[in-house]
Amino acid sequence: MSIAEMARAASGTTRGGAAERAAGARPAIRWLLLAVGLTAALAMPWVMYPPIAFDIACFALLAVSVDLLLGYTGLLSFGHAAFWGTAAYTATLVSLQTGAPFPLAVLAGMVAAAVLSVPIGYLAVKRTGIYFAMVTLAFAQMIFFLANQWRSVTGGENGLVGPARELFNMDLSDPFFFYYAGLPFILLGLLAAWRVVRSPFGRVLVAIRDNPSRARALGYPVHQYKLGVFVISASLAGLAGGLFAISHGFASLQEVYWTTSGKAVMIVVLGGMGTLWGSVIGAYLVVQLEYFLSDAGFEEIGIVTGSIFVLVVLLFRRGIWGTARHTLEKLQRRRE
Amino acid sequence: MRSVAGRSAAVLAAAALVLTGCGQGGPGGGGGKISGDKVVLGVINDQSGVYADLSGKNSVEAVNMAIADFKKKHPDSAIKDIEVVSADHQNKPDLANSKAAELYDRQQADIILDVPTSSAALAVANVAKQKKKLHINVGAATTELSGKSCNKYTFHYAYDTYMLAYGTGTTLTQEGAKNWYIVYPDYAFGQDMNKSFTAAVEAGGGNVIKSDPTPFPNDNFSTFLLKAPKLNPKPDVIGTMQAGGDLVNLVKQYNEFKLADKGVGLAVGLMFITDIHSLGVEAFEGVTFTDAWYWNFDDKNRKWADRFQAKTDTRPSFAHAGNYSAALQYLEAVERAGTDESDAVVKELEGYEFDDVFARNGKIRAEDHRMVHDAYLAKVKEKSEVSEEWDYEEIVSTIPADKAFAPVGDTQCQMG
């Protein structure tokens, strides 16, 4: 099964977008879900350790940005660590050098990620499938080695430590408060992704995913569209990465390492490709699991996360959100 | 769990304390002030990855031994209750950073110990600075901890890249190995080691003919090894800064090419006894390296190692002993200060001189918080000389504490 076919199956947008129609018929449910989601987002730091709550938010946005490509355009990016990490380093550097308030630093990181994504995207979108994944991975590894070697700027393996967390003279070093300061930016990012998906632009992306030849025949410049969504996706990943670095108070090589890209893809597949909100749930599970395992006393953490991943892929091919939606639809159809 | 209720309770409690303090009229005295009525020691290290053997869970065990010894020595101490909490950072600085913050905030840890991997160590040091809680680093090698990134609440124990380089580089050069060829993994640790080693060799009157970076991680070192005997002048020693799996590969290939027979020796920048154990002593026969501590050095060490083995079924590495000593010296400092309040304990630790199972001529420098002690130049025994399991090292010479570590002025530390 190709990536595009898998994404199509998971997102349930075949058969003329039955899911969209079903959901559209019940706006009440949609509002309810939104309210539940927002409440959960606001309540998180009360029920768990605030920095972890913010990690979840950041990885959710990163995964959503990957899902824009994977789920909605059928492009598997295995190099989003490059954008996440570039933004993390840029935001940290800007904050350290200029002492700018954190939203400015994060914005600078986001811009850096967007700028970087133009040449990478330009070259990568000429390929599809596994070749696209390999090209993005190759560029991400280039960024990794650059960050590793350029010690005077990035600190090499030691990383960069200590950007301030201040806003208008308010001390946000308490992670509980920083969560609420950073959350609006994450929500804005999620809103942007949602808006992209629901826009005519997003519909064209889905058309390209499902049948690129037909999209081209209809007169859509496929490469430009792909490049467009690639830059948007990279910017969102950058937004998430910048916030992540500021929240942790440092940027390290881990941020640009391929495992970060892998983690993002894993979150998307767990949550459900082409569902956006599935990625949020996936992020919650993966980050919590990693955190939980770190003092649970298991020695083989990789085996645990790996098995869970294999199980989900074997049993719920649509991911968690995709499976839930599919089951609901089935029930509804039976009732009709 | 953090909640506003919890916070206001804390504020109320603080207010109540102030009020009762005033009520009694005058300062309540400094003695017996232990926060939460217990001292909590946190250990963050790698319990599932490449460093799990050389430190990992057994370091937590070593800290428990320190607590037992402390309680035995001070049966009527003001510290009634001592607890250990630990976490696996999986060598990820992000995780080390959040775990450290969580241990300080939510588990009321007074100190965090160990933390191997330089990036993770620097991240934790930064958290310690922000939270004004102690961090004694044992597992990481970077000199930055007591250099550019030093801070009031962070101490660096056991070893660092300077110690490793000085011990092996200078000593071997003075013993006649004038020409060196250095291979190092191309990341921060390797680059630092290359720099320190070159300086150490030159200080000993030797000469580094060539130093080559290798990819990291790397399986095939034949390019570098085969080049060595052909260099002009021919190097007396190859200095390798590889660690872990890379070191194992390099040593295997060094033996396969029989470079020792061609008159090219091998010196290792960083090696733990657990490396020798896992690859077998044959592979490392005759290799020289600097060790911070060896379990079979004397009776004192041996007795402690026996106790350690009874608990863990393995002999201790220097990291295990270092964690034991760090925990013990911290508790002693709390005892002397009569409180676990960070600033008071820091004051007790600064400039403190001591001897224990781990440290001979140990001293915690006040200027940069570098803990210095005697280091050892060690040689791996021939297989025929090994008389029992783990009996791998022969201590060639002792490097005195005041020589083993970088002089105070050189460390670029500005304690803020």
| Phi, psi for B106 (deg, rounded to 5) | -105, -25
| pLDDT above 70 for A180 | yes
Task: Kindly list the residues from chain A whose CB atom is less than 8 angstroms away from the CB atom of residue B106.
Answer: 49
Contacts of A196 (CB under 8 A, 6+ apart): A68, A202, A229, A232
d(CA A118, CA A231): 6
pLDDT in tens, A106-133: 999 999 999 999 999 999 999 888 999 9
- Most B CBs within 10 Å, among A47, A48, A145, A161, to test the B interface: A161
- Per DSSP, the residues of A84-136 read HHHHHHHHHHHHHHH---HHHHHHHHHHHHHHHHHHHHHHHTTS-HHHHHHHH
> Tell me, what amino acid is at A116?
L
User: How far is residue B235 from each of residues A310, B230, B411, measured CA to CA in Å?
Assistant: 52, 9, 31
* pLDDT value of position B8: 46
**DSSP 8-state secondary structure symbol assigned to residue B370:** B
Q: Please tell me which of the candidates B2, B118, B189 has its beta carbon nearest to residue A176.
A: B2
Q: Six-digit token pair at B79?
A: 């510290």
* pLDDT value of position A21: 46
Confidence of residue A16 (pLDDT cuts 50, 70, 90): very low
Q: Taking the C-alpha atoms of B42, B45, B48 and B50 in order, what is their torsion angle to the nearest 10 degrees?
A: -170
pLDDT in tens, A218-235: 999 999 999 999 999 999
Rounded to the nearest angstrom, the minimum Cα separation between B189 and chain A is 8
Confidence of residue A4 (pLDDT cuts 50, 70, 90): low
pLDDT in tens, A63-93: 999 999 999 999 999 999 999 999 999 999 9
Check if the beta carbon of residue B202 is closer than 8 Å to that of residue B183.
no
Q: Please tell me which of the candidates B2, B93, B188 has its beta carbon nearest to residue A50.
A: B2
Q: What is the mean pLDDT of each run of 10 residues along chain B (416 residues)?
A: 44 42 36 78 87 87 95 89 91 88 91 91 92 94 89 94 90 89 87 90 92 87 92 92 84 90 90 87 87 94 95 93 96 93 95 95 94 94 91 92 88 80
* pLDDT value of position B216: 76
| Phi, psi for B225 (deg, rounded to 5) | -70, -40
The answer to whether the Cβ–Cβ distance between B119 and A157 falls below 8 Å is: yes
Give ranges for CATH 3.40.50.2300 in chain B: 33-159+298-373, 162-291+376-404
Rounded to the nearest angstrom, the minimum Cα separation between A214 and chain B is 45
* pLDDT value of position A265: 92
Question: Where exactly are the structural domains of chain A?
Answer: 50-257
* pLDDT value of position A3: 65
- Most A CBs within 10 Å, among B55, B102, B131, B142, to test the A interface: B102
Rounded to the nearest angstrom, the minimum Cα separation between A198 and chain B is 34
Q: Which of A99, A140, A152 is nearest to A255 (CA)?
A: A140
* pLDDT value of position B77: 87
Mean pLDDT over all residues of chain A?
86
CATH classification code of B162-291+376-404: 3.40.50.2300
> What is the ipTM metric for this complex?
0.73
Rounded to the nearest angstrom, the minimum Cα separation between B151 and chain A is 12
**B284 by DSSP, 3-state: which?**
helix
Selected residues 140-179 of chain B with any CB under 8 Å from a CB in chain A: 142, 144, 149
* pLDDT value of position A298: 66
- Size (chain B), residues: 416
Q: Please tell me which of the candidates B3, B98, B123 has its beta carbon nearest to residue A51.
A: B98
Q: Which of B186, B208, B192 is nearest to B267 (CA)?
A: B208
- What is the distance, to the nearest Å, from the Cα of residue B318 to the centroid of all Cα atoms in its chain? 8
| Ramachandran area for residue A163 (φ above 0: left; ψ -120 to 50: alpha; else beta) | beta
Check if the beta carbon of residue B95 is closer than 8 Å to that of residue A59.
no
Interval A166-170 mean pLDDT: 69
- Per DSSP, the residues of B161-182 read HHHHHIIIIIHHHHTT--EEEE
d(CA A241, CA A89): 9
Q: Hey, is the C-beta of B102 within 8 angstroms of any chain A C-beta?
A: yes
What angle in degrees, to the nearest 10, is found between the helix axes of B118-131 and B93-105? Answer: 30
d(CA B114, CA B327): 10
Q: Report chain B's C-alpha Rg in angstroms.
A: 23
d(CA B169, CA B160): 14
Q: Please tell me which of the candidates B3, B98, B149 has its beta carbon nearest to residue A161.
A: B149
Rounded to the nearest angstrom, the minimum Cα separation between A169 and chain B is 17
CATH classification code of B33-159+298-373: 3.40.50.2300
What are the residue ranges of helices labelled H in B132-219?
161-165, 171-174, 188-203
Per-residue three-class SS string for B310-339: HHHCCCCCHHHHHHHHHHHHHHHHHHHHCE
Check if the beta carbon of residue B161 is closer than 8 Å to that of residue B137.
no
d(CA B341, CA B110): 8
- Per DSSP, the residues of A161-186 read E----EETTEE--SHHHHHHHHHHHH
Q: Which of A137, A121, A135, A132 is nearest to A227 (CA)?
A: A121
Q: Which of B60, B141, B91, B159 is nearest to B373 (CA)?
A: B159
Size of interface A-B (CB pairs under 8 A): 101
d(CA B352, CA B328): 13
The answer to whether the Cβ–Cβ distance between A299 and B92 falls below 8 Å is: no
